[in-house]
Copies of this chain bind each other. A is one copy, B any other.
Amino acid sequence: MPGSPPSLDRQQLGAYLALMEVSSILRHEVEQHLRAEGDLSYVQWQILASLEDSASGSHRMTDLADGVVYSRSGLTYQAGLLEKRGLISRSPSPADERSIDVTITDAGRALFARVLPGHIEVVSSLLFEPLSRNDVQALTGLLTPVRDHMRATPPRSASPRRRKRTRAGDTAS
């Protein structure tokens, strides 16, 4: 029997490696398609999808940052590219002058609509072809708790600026 302190059993190792390989290939193929079809990075696609999905077609930069990218400057960079192409627009939020409201434009919606079918096709043919409806349901059932756990796990990212809650007693003064 192997050591107990730090180890993954055979099943866990298999699951981990399968997950990494599956997600790497899928991500790679998806990115390839997005680039070829719409000249979009995956982050740009997530931004458009997030905006398209929202009722107002708008989000604050901070809202986009949570759940899209790991650094704020990265989001600024990607949003800048989208704005340059006229796919989104940015304007100061009326409510809070510090915030920027990001809104998807008609051109953005049009591009999203144009790319979406191919995107779905890639995902369907690569990920879902070998899975039955029950399989998909089971997969969701397994991954959802994991996602929730990961979201809840505190140190998630190391430094996208102090994360919400203020740690008391940090600076004495």
Contact = CB atoms under 8 A, between A and B. Distances in A.
Contacts of A107: none
Contact of A146 (B11, B120, B127, B148): B127
A140 B14 contact: yes
- Determine how many copies of this chain the complex contains: 2
Contact of A18 (B11, B15, B147): B147
14 contacts: A5-B117, A11-B133, A12-B128, A20-B27, A21-B150, A24-B27, A25-B150, A32-B158, A126-B149, A130-B146, A130-B149, A131-B145, A131-B146, A139-B139
Give the interface residue-count category, chain A: 35 or more
A138 interface: yes
Q: Helix, strand, loop or mixed for chain A's interface?
A: helix
Interface of A: 5-8, 11-12, 14-16, 18-29, 32, 67, 70, 116-118, 120-121, 123-131, 133, 135-140, 142-150, 153, 156-158
B22 A146 contact: yes
B127 A29 contact: no
Contacts of A153: 125-126
Contact of A143 (B18, B32, B117): B18
